[in-house]
Amino acid sequence: MEAIQVFDRPASRSFYTVAGRFLFVEAVDLRLAPLVEKLFAGWQLTPVSSPPRDAEIEIKFFGEEPSVEIRSEISSHLEQFEVAEAGRCYTFANGYFLQFDNSLLRLQQDLKVRADIWFKQTPKVVDAELARVTSFAVCAALRRFGLFDLHSAAVVKPESGAGVLIIGPSGSGKSTLTFQLATAGWPYLSDDEVLLNLHDGEVKARGFRSFFAMREVSCAGFKNVFEPSDVISAERVPEVVPRWLLFTSISGKNETQIIQLAQADTMIRLIRACPWATYDTTIAGVNLELLSRLARQAKAFDFAAGTDLLESTRATELLKKLNEH
């Protein structure tokens, strides 16, 4: 996706839209501008040259440490807890701070949602922390407008058009399974992250990350990043109604095992895959209700992937058998 930007020194400014919501993104430091542009180009957001109304979400990047006044707002009396990747969250009345080693995010909501991001040292490339804190900012803002992020891949069963969410942490085989199905002609949304929303009483999923990232067997720890349209002919679809949930893991056994889950177990696993449904207390009730609807709407399975999935057609064969449950 090629972002449309208007540069006005010393800042770069971009507008995007997703599900009818407008985002305004500004990088104050020119060294950050191309990195921010590259990050947003990897997500399924639509760039616009000039939105027809004020943006509901503003995200601003600073290539410097926050001021003493900003840092003083983080005090010991604020409720706080640890988050993934050695982060710490500090909550206040209308938002929260999220602090990592090299960055600080302040998210607050008044008439609009505003996210400010500071860096102690400006990254020279798109590093993991820059990607992480930016994703946190975008997803936290979208949650306040009914779009809830889930660490999940998504494909579409060709014969029925039903959505299949492939849910699991990094290294659980989501991307590999998604790539195999897409190579076999299954339409896809994303290999890693989707946004969920409630529409006419049903939970719908839309893709968030546009590129695929697959770990090479011979290069442990390194991922091959590519645009799926460059290597497969399957169609990317904008949204789907999920009817099947696969909670993936790698078993190391010869044969893949598929076990249907009860609704209660499904809900527990959805919350585990979506921790901000409980962390983000401002919208926790709405988020948990959406996950509950999803657990009732879709059939869920524990999908323990075996080495048989190395066969190119095995994934398609296994998922076709889900109709038997």
Domains of the chain in start order, with CATH, are 5-145 (no CATH), 149-324 (3.40.50)
Which residue is it, tokens 């090629």?
Answer: 2
Token representation of residue 237: 């679809």
d(CA 86, CA 186): 37
Q: What is the pLDDT of residue 229?
A: 87
Helix axes 263-273, 284-297, angle to 10 degrees: 130
Which helix (H) or strand (E) covers residue 223, if one does?
A: strand 223-226
Residues 122-134 pLDDT 10s: 998 989 999 999 9
Q: What is the pLDDT of residue 52?
A: 79
Give every residue of the chain whose pLDDT is below 70, as ranges. Answer: 1-11, 215-223, 323-325
Q: CB–CB of 88/133 below 8 Å?
A: no
Helix axes 128-143, 33-41, angle to 10 degrees: 60
Which residue is it, tokens 């600080």?
Answer: 104
- Whole-model pTM? 0.90
DSSP 47-80: EESS-SS--SEEEEEESSPPPHHHHHT--TTSEE
